[in-house]
Amino acid sequence: MLNPSAEPSETVAARQDLAALYRLAHHYGWTDLTSTHISARLPDDPQHYLLNSHDLMFDEITASNLTRMSFERGEAVDNRPESGKVINLAGHVIHSNVLKARPEINYVIHSHTRAGIAVSAMPEGLLPLSQHAGFVLGTLASHPYQDSTAVEDEGAVLARDLGDKFAMLLQNHGLLVVGRTAAEAFIYHYYLEMACKVQVDILGATDDPVRIEPEAMAALDDWGSPAKGPHGAFQWNALLRMLERTVPDFRD
């Protein structure tokens, strides 16, 4: 159970927003057993960030059982005896490097969705086939596959390839998005995942799809531009109300 008096109110809020992201990932089917990960920067503690324990399903994650991780050592600095805090090394490599490289970013989502992996393995990547794609294409990067636990500088290279973008296709691997707020990270992942699903559906039906014309894409790029954000605030409030109705223990 979360003890609000034990941490600053900003940290409690970050814990609860991160727990909400995990429950939403479960709700929308973005999970891969206990793998994949979502992180949050700690507003009160620049040396540490929050990540999930690798032994928990996403629908088990609450604000209090998120792990405070060391940026530098990749170690948990709090303990949950009943689980032993199983650390996901790949998660640490990815999230610590992205958060360090992007000080304006507070949340990072990495997923292995079926559609995301499929599109990440397509030679042209994400195509301008839907409004959903238009929202993210203007801020979409790409990164070639490497095993993050086997290549020494993988985290730094991944962060370099992300650059100043807010979404990325990890080739043969999945998706990665970032956000200044939990709401923004969610909305970029939602649109990217939907765009991937639509693309897989379209290319399964035709090899000559209609693409959105460049002139029309300009308006969609503007709609999804990070300069117009942070995005997702009004959707986030509705999503939190849904969680409060269905799984209110995420705040515990």
In whole numbers, what is the pLDDT of the chain averaged over residues? 93
The residue-averaged pLDDT of 229-246 equals 97
CB 155 within 8 A of CB 93: yes
3-class DSSP state of 11? helix
Q: What is the per-residue pLDDT across 98-116, written as a single tens digit (0 to 9) for each?
A: 999 999 999 999 999 999 9
Q: Give the span between the Cα atoms of 16 and 64, in whole angstroms.
A: 8
Which pLDDT score, from 0 to 100, does residue 230 have? 97
The residue-averaged pLDDT of 216-225 equals 96
How many angstroms separate the Cα of 154 from the Cα of each of 60, 90, 166, 219? 30, 10, 18, 35
| Residue 93 pLDDT grade (very low, low, confident, very high; cuts 50, 70, 90) | very high
Centre a 10 Å sphere on the Cβ of residue 64 and count the other Cβ atoms it contains: 17
| Residue 3 pLDDT grade (very low, low, confident, very high; cuts 50, 70, 90) | low
| Residue 7 pLDDT grade (very low, low, confident, very high; cuts 50, 70, 90) | confident
More confident residue, 5 or 157: 157
CB 113 within 8 A of CB 105: no
More confident residue, 79 or 246: 246
**177 pLDDT above the threshold of 90:** yes
Fold topology of 4-251 = L-fuculose-1-phosphate Aldolase (3.40.225)
Which pLDDT score, from 0 to 100, does residue 1 have? 65
**84 pLDDT above the threshold of 80:** no
Q: What is the per-residue pLDDT across 130-171, written as a single tens digit (0 to 9) for each?
A: 999 999 999 999 999 988 777 778 999 999 999 999 999 999
Residues of the chain with pLDDT > 90: what percent?
A: 85
CB 57 within 8 A of CB 96: no
Q: Give the span between the Cα atoms of 242 and 24, in whole angstroms.
A: 10
CB 112 within 8 A of CB 36: yes
Domains of the chain by residue range: 4-251
Which pLDDT score, from 0 to 100, does residue 83 have? 47
Is the entire prediction scored with pTM above 0.85? yes
Q: Give the span between the Cα atoms of 59 and 75, in whole angstroms.
A: 23
Copy the structure tokens of residue 186. Answer: 């969610």
